[in-house]
Amino acid sequence: MELRHLRYFTVLAEELHFGRAAARLHMAQPPLSQRIRDLERELGVQLFDRGPRQVQLTEAGALLLEHSRRVLESAESAQEAMRRLLPGENGVVRVGIPPDTMPVTLRTMLHEFAERAPDVLVDLHELTTDEQLAALREGTLDAAMVRHPCDISGLDSSPVARRPLGVLLPTEHPLAGPEPVRLRDLNGQPLVIFPRAMAPMLYDHVLSICRAEGFRPGAIRHARNPHFVHGLVLASRGVHFNEPPPGEPRAGLTWCPLEDSPLSWRTSVVWVSRRRHAAIDALAAVAASGLAAAGHHAEAPPAAS
């Protein structure tokens, strides 16, 4: 049984007049009559009593009408659900975000996006920078919030927002206190950092700056889960660079700024140019607001040479 035949039947059952039903369906009356006869033959029942001046539902027709309305409503709901998977207006925008995105950034982004594009759903995916870039190029993401430096060749980007990093230390560490810490004063101490596979270019960039500033880690330990990171720092197994924590650091830990802010998170929203649509423009704008709420500032463009 085809859905279109059920649609023809339902309209005729509502109108009880072949001419009016055909007009509603934007078709001629003879094809409609033929489709109804085809449906009756398929079901083996008579659905309508056809008189010279009126058309009436049979008992079988009344029973089918009850079921056909539910079927058609379900089909329309399914079609609407599929439409919402399309990016842009009346759809879904699939967005990648870094695993350690600040809660205030997410809250601001989602609240403001709902105001700007109330008919668009945001489907968030917690992914590393390299995972986001791969998904973006494969077409499984519409936009990505990435950390720089990274390979964004062939992609468009919103302006970069910068957030200086500090160092997380155990409270008993001799450098733990209100004064900024110089990177060279950490020389020889172990470092807790995200695995290189998460963002190879950023990983190399961080270590390069550390070396240039006089900090050569005595050992490098990799951790991506914040609880594991904090546990290693608490156990004096390494220092860790990150932005200021929301609220007070957990007991036993102290966050200190770095002198002259040599390290920072540099973040932007990127997307494939040919897939750009209004929802991505809105997302880039609210991401800037969300990052600003977490203390990021728009990075000044490079000076002209």
Give pLDDT tens digits for 201-235.
Answer: 999 999 999 999 999 999 999 998 889 999 999 99
Q: For residue 207, how many other CB atoms are within 10 A of its CB?
A: 17
Mean per-residue pLDDT of the chain: 90
Measured between alpha carbons, how far is residue 161 from residues 100, 148, 207, 299 in Å?
16, 10, 21, 5
Secondary structure of residue 111 in the 3-state scheme: helix
Residue 267: beta bridge partners?
A: 147, 161
**Which whole number is the average pLDDT over 154-178?**
95
pLDDT number for residue 302: 46
**Which whole number is the average pLDDT over 174-178?**
93
Q: Which of the residue ranges 25-29, 64-68, 264-268 has the most confident prediction, judged by mean pLDDT?
A: 264-268
Report d(CA 100, CA 126) in Å as an integer.
Answer: 9
Q: Does the global pTM surpass 0.75?
A: no
pLDDT number for residue 300: 64
DSSP secondary structure of 197-247 = GG-HHHHHHHHHHHHHTT---S-EEE--SHHHHHHHHHTTS-EEEEPPPSS
Q: For residue 288, how many other CB atoms are within 10 A of its CB?
A: 21
pLDDT number for residue 304: 39
Task: pLDDT band for 274, please (50, 70, 90 cuts).
Answer: confident
